[in-house]
Amino acid sequence: MGRARCLLFAFTFLLVTQLTAPISSAQTALLNVFNAARNSSLETSSDPMLTIESGSSAQPLEESENLWTTPWVPQASALSSSDPKKLGVIDRAYLDVFTILNDDNECSRLFGGKFAIAALNRFVSQLKPTYLDKGVALRMSGTTITIQSNRTGFAFRVFEKAELNLFGSFFRNNGHTNVASEFQPNTRETRAVVLLHELGHMVKSPNEGWLLPDDGDDSSLSTENTHRVVNACRKQIGSLSKLSLEEELKRAGKE
């Protein structure tokens, strides 16, 4: 058996071992970094160097000068298709938020400007529809890693899991309290609020900590966080009905 085949066998055995044996904290951290590195292909075309570290901070790697020869341009890389007829509910909500963040407005500035699209892309790409309590729209949980762009310096954290509730107000009007009282459940506006709220837990505040503090099972804090998002983004969210998917795709360079 050649060296390459031996290495392949050893790597395969390691993967099987990781899936079947109890996982230590060190192994868990390593797997999280591996998974995040695998997913970073979503951003490599516009930001070829990403620092991925466990913990609450990340430091940029040394950069070559050619990283700065062209401006950073956000890409709608989490879209499943550029054909408006093939876009699902999540795609359309993602495109709405992408459009808001890609413009200079109060809402976009709250999240750090268009650089926050890097966090949005990573977040939406990992969303898994599932069934949760009807009062939950979206839940992020598990360990976190922090990612920092070497080109822009923008940093954000990624949770191990991001679960979108098929029973919640993102998809249904089930009679439970909506995420924002002024927007009806299962609407374009509510879906944008849901994604923006969770994005607020991923990006950093101009001060210390995260833009929106972790609210977990604290419903009052969750409501307060949502109010902050809506207060800053009300105009942009309210204007979504004036934009067609075709127009948004054109603005995102997906025409």
> Over 155-215, what HEC string results?
EEEEEEEEEEECCCCCCCCCCCCCCCCCCCCCCHHHHHHHHHHHHHCCEECCCCCECCCCC
158: closest CA among 131, 193, 121? 121
Confidence of residue 177 (pLDDT cuts 50, 70, 90): low
Which residues have CB under 8 Å from 112's CB, separation 6+? 154, 203, 204
Residues 6 or more apart in contact with residue 174 via CB below 8 angstroms: 134, 167, 168, 185
Using DSSP bridges, classify how beta strands 50-54 and 128-130 pair: parallel, antiparallel or unpaired.
Answer: unpaired
Q: Crossing angle, helix 219-238 and helix 89-101, to 10 degrees?
A: 70
Average pLDDT, the chain: 80
pLDDT at 4 over 80: no
pLDDT score of 34: 38
Instruction: Please determine, for residue 62, whether its predicted confidence score (pLDDT) is greater than 60.
Output: no
Are 183 and 227 spatial neighbours (Cβ–Cβ below 8 Å)?
Answer: no
In a domain, 210, yes or no: yes
Average pLDDT over residues 29-57: 44
Say which residue, 27 or 150, is predicted with more confidence: 150
Contact between 153 and 60 (Cβ < 8 Å): yes
**Within a domain: residue 1?**
no
Question: Has residue 242 been placed in a domain?
Answer: yes
The single residue listed with the structure tokens 């070829």 is 48
Check pLDDT > 50 for residue 27: no
Q: What is the extent of the structural domain holding 220?
A: 82-146+157-251
Q: Can you give the pTM of this predicted structure?
A: 0.76
Within a domain: residue 66? Answer: no
**Eight-state DSSP code of residue 49:** -
CB atoms within 10 A of CB 205: 13
Q: For residue 52, what pLDDT band results from cuts at 50, 70 and 90?
A: low
pLDDT tier for residue 238 given thresholds of 50, 70 and 90: very high
The number of distinct structural domains making up the chain is 1
The pLDDT of residue 54:
56
pLDDT over 90, % of the chain: 61
Asked if residue 89 is part of any domain, the answer here is yes
Q: Which residues of 156-191 are buried (b: 16+ CB within 10 A; e: fewer)?
A: bbbbbebbbbebbbbbeeeebebbbeebebbbbbbb
- Nearest-angstrom CA–CA distance, 221 and 214: 8
Tell whether 15 is covered by a domain.
no
Does residue 57 sit within a domain? no
Any domain includes 246? yes
Condensed to tens digits (0 to 9), the pLDDT of residues 131-147 reads 999 889 999 999 999 99
Specify whether the CB–CB gap between 211 and 110 falls below 8 A.
yes
Q: What is the DSSP string of 240-254?
A: GGG--HHHHHHHTT-
Query: Which of 40-49, 66-75, 114-123: highest mean pLDDT?
Result: 114-123
